[in-house]
A = this chain, B = another copy of it.
Amino acid sequence: MNIRELARRSGVSTATVSRALNDRAEVSEATRAKIRRLASELGYAPNEPARTLVRRRSDTIGLVWDSGQEAMGQHNPFLLGLLSAVRTALSDADYHLMLLTTPGAEDQDGAHLQAVQRHNLEGVIVLTTPPDDRCLRVLADSTVPCAGIDTAFTGPRTVRVSSDNAAGAEAAVQHLYELGHRRIATVTGPLHLPPAAERLAGYLRACSRLGLSVPPEYVTEGDFFLASGEAAGKRLLAAPDRPTAIFAAGDQMAIGAIHAAADAGLTVPGDLAVVGFDDIDAAALVRPALSTVAQDQRGLGVAAVEALRGLIDATTVDAAQAQPRIIPTRLLIRGSSRPGV
């Protein structure tokens, strides 16, 4: 069942059918209705490849996410949430979604760019991918519109969407301060990653604003994984002026710190309050439940799609679109910081 067959049965030409189905004005309401009815009766579905071919646009955008961490068996915890958010936001905007696969080492670096050309993709959304991905560099350097969530790469038509990491960290410290804590330490992520650096900056800003002293040993660089948080916690809790609270830049590290406290015979949140970042699934499952700074996955997804549409529609590179979109976070207070919860 193609458009010619449908045209024949409707008693009109293919041009009219096309116009009717695409809501063009030059068709009378009567014939439009008849064509519509016949189309759904016959189960006609327009052939997208053919449309793409002649229209030179596919209404499709590509999606890339990190595969580096997967190789280590470690998934970024909220990737799935982002994925869902992006998916629904894109389908709300009437876009189709194609998954791009990061090639193996033997393949060439231009794989993503090639895929964009081959499929006439109109843009790409990149999820939490390390900025040193060479395959991604090629893409970002091209004129393909790109929106990166929780990742930092720059290029001629690129926009970054990210949580307000600094404000989130600041809110966490503020929360601990209001609970009476004055000795607040932090465990950061790898500081070459922008989110980790921003969370540290927020922590430092809050401390300075609140007049808290930050001895150098209160800042430990971790790697976002459990063990680094546990090690940092162990060291911090063994020190003479041990902190009464720890802000960890990732939930896994926060849970590690709680383990360290338990090993040291300390209770949480009584002897040590802990706040994490990200609100991974496990945060609600551990005991005590982990207070944490939750990212607005849906908001991130919607903003990314919106920003990408801006890039696509913009004929000239507007300076206003080049600057990053910052999405607010939300502090979830649970048992690891507030007693009796």
Residues of A within 8 A of B (CB): 43, 45-50, 52-53, 58, 63, 67, 70, 75, 77, 79-81, 83-84, 87-88, 90-91, 96-99, 101, 103, 110, 114, 117-120, 226, 252, 255, 259, 262, 280-282, 284-287
Q: For residue A111, give the distance in angstroms from its CB to the closest CB of chain B.
A: 10
Contact at B281–A47, with CB atoms within 8 Å? no
Q: Looking across the interface, which residue of chain B has its beta carbon closest to that of A91?
A: B101
CB neighbours of A259 from chain B (8 A): 287
Contact at A84–B67, with CB atoms within 8 Å? yes
Contact at B101–A285, with CB atoms within 8 Å? no
Number of this chain's copies in the assembly equals 2
CB neighbours of A97 from chain B (8 A): 98-99, 101
A53 to B91, CA, bound (A): 24
Q: Answer whether A226 and B284 are a contact pair too, CB < 8 Å, given A80-B79, A81-B75.
A: yes
Q: For residue A155, give the distance in angstroms from its CB to the closest CB of chain B.
A: 17
A336 to B277, CA, bound (A): 27
Contact at B118–A46, with CB atoms within 8 Å? yes
Which of A49, A98, A103, A262 has most chain B Cβ within 10 Å?
Answer: A49
Contact at B119–A48, with CB atoms within 8 Å? yes
Q: Looking across the interface, which residue of chain B has its beta carbon closest to that of A285?
A: B282
Q: For residue A76, give the distance in angstroms from its CB to the closest CB of chain B.
A: 8
Contact at B281–A286, with CB atoms within 8 Å? no
Q: For residue A14, give the distance in angstroms from its CB to the closest CB of chain B.
A: 16
CB neighbours of A255 from chain B (8 A): 285
Other A-B contacts than A88-B101, A281-B281, 18 sampled, CB-CB below 8 A, are A43-B110, A43-B117, A45-B118, A48-B119, A49-B49, A49-B58, A49-B119, A53-B53, A67-B88, A70-B84, A75-B81, A80-B83, A87-B99, A97-B101, A255-B285, A281-B282, A282-B285, A285-B285
Contact at A286–B286, with CB atoms within 8 Å? yes
Q: Answer whether A262 and B281 are a contact pair too, CB < 8 Å, given A99-B98, A118-B47.
A: no
CB neighbours of A52 from chain B (8 A): 49
A58 to B53, CA, bound (A): 14
Contact of A98 among B79, B96, B103, B284 (CB under 8 A): B96
Q: For residue A170, give the distance in angstroms from its CB to the closest CB of chain B.
A: 26
Q: For residue A124, give the distance in angstroms from its CB to the closest CB of chain B.
A: 14
CB neighbours of A118 from chain B (8 A): 45-48
CB neighbours of A77 from chain B (8 A): 281
CB neighbours of A81 from chain B (8 A): 75
Contact at B53–A49, with CB atoms within 8 Å? yes
A241 to B44, CA, bound (A): 64
Which of A53, A226, A284 has most chain B Cβ within 10 Å?
Answer: A53
A80 to B49, CA, bound (A): 29
CB neighbours of A101 from chain B (8 A): 87-88, 90-91, 97
